[in-house]
């Protein structure tokens, strides 16, 4: 059962990446396979690297009342785009907007699935 939950979460994150690529100009994901690979890498980066980045940038996040966390999320997306060849981000604005859209789409998809 736990494997099914992981698989569903992976597919939802891949769909969220594809939706983000569709919505945000300058944020590109080649295909569904690339989105699945990117979702795996995104999960690993969110688990291991993002907490370190958040800890290092905590003073800036506090000073900016949390807004700097968008920059941290954009850096995470840049790391994913550096690792996965089919994910392209054309600059900071698409990365920041992409991070915001990705979190919103991901939240909506997860809430729809959990309500079913």
pLDDT band at 37 (very low <50, low <70, confident <90, very high): very high
Assigned domain for 113 exists: no
Assigned domain for 32 exists: yes
| Contact partners, residue 18, CB within 8 Å, separation at least 6 | 29, 32, 35
Assigned domain for 43 exists: yes
pLDDT of residue 61: 96
Burial class (CB in 10 A: 0-12, 13-18, 19+), 35: buried
Assigned domain for 112 exists: no
Once rounded to an integer, what is the mean pLDDT over residues 13-29?
97
Is the predicted pLDDT of residue 75 greater than 90, yes or no? yes
Domain count, the chain: 1
Assigned domain for 91 exists: yes
pTM for the whole structure:
0.93
- Domain with 91, as residue range(s), is 13-105
């Amino acid at each position: 059962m736990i494997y099914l939950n992981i698989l569903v979460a992976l597919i939802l994150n891949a769909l969220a990446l594809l939706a983000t690529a569709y919505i945000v100009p300058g944020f590109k994901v080649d295909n569904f396979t690339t989105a699945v690979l990117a979702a795996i890498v995104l999960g690993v980066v969110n688990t291991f690297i993002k907490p370190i980045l958040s800890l290092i940038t905590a003073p800036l996040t506090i000073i900016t009342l949390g807004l700097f966390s968008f920059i941290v999320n954009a850096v995470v997306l840049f790391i994913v785009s550096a690792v996965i060849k089919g994910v392209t981000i054309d600059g900071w604005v698409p990365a920041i907007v992409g991070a915001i859209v990705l979190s919103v789409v991901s939240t909506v998809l997860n809430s729809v699935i959990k309500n079913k």
